[in-house]
Amino acid sequence: MNVQPLHGHGHPSARRRPMEGSTGRPRRALWITAAAGLAVDQVTKAVAAVVVEGRQPVHALGGSVTFTAFRNPGAAGSFAPHATVVFTLLAAGVLAFITWASSSVRSVGWAVGLGLLFAGAGGNLADRLFRHPGFGRGAVLDFIQVGHSGIFNLADQCVTLGALTILVQTFRGVPMRAHSAAR
């Protein structure tokens, strides 16, 4: 007769991964990803503001990466430079949606994607709120250029990676939320 212990590490349920329907692990993943991405973005912008801004560009990796400061009032690629207030409101809306959705995310993949989007939108929103020329109208600090690409920052990369992660989850058919019980 095969007897399983009722408690401890030998119990079959102790070896299972958290249920897909659980929100604890995905929620932690979302907020840890968001906090880490936001912190790295803000620290690198603070360093760039001191080390790069107002100076000649710094070339690295044989010239394939350039660090140069650019104050961008618009979106990626300096799109719509006179719509700073619109981008400020959009970023605030993204943060509000992700905060609202965070309580029902059931997939770690979705959580990481949303956490990256939160970090990127939050990082650039912080610039728009607190940088010159004033609250809600500030310019985002971009400082990284790879090859002949546009100049960007780590918040931009968080948005890109977050969107790609969400696309992968969507194409894999992974739902963001658990399906509700039968009505």
Kindly list the catalytic residues: 142, 156
| Burial class (CB within 10 angstroms; exposed 0-12, middle 13-18, buried 19+) of 134 | exposed
User: How many angstroms separate the CA atoms of 87 and 57, rounded?
Assistant: 27
- Rounded CA separation 90/146 (Å): 27
Cα 138 to Cα 167: distance, rounded to the nearest angstrom: 30
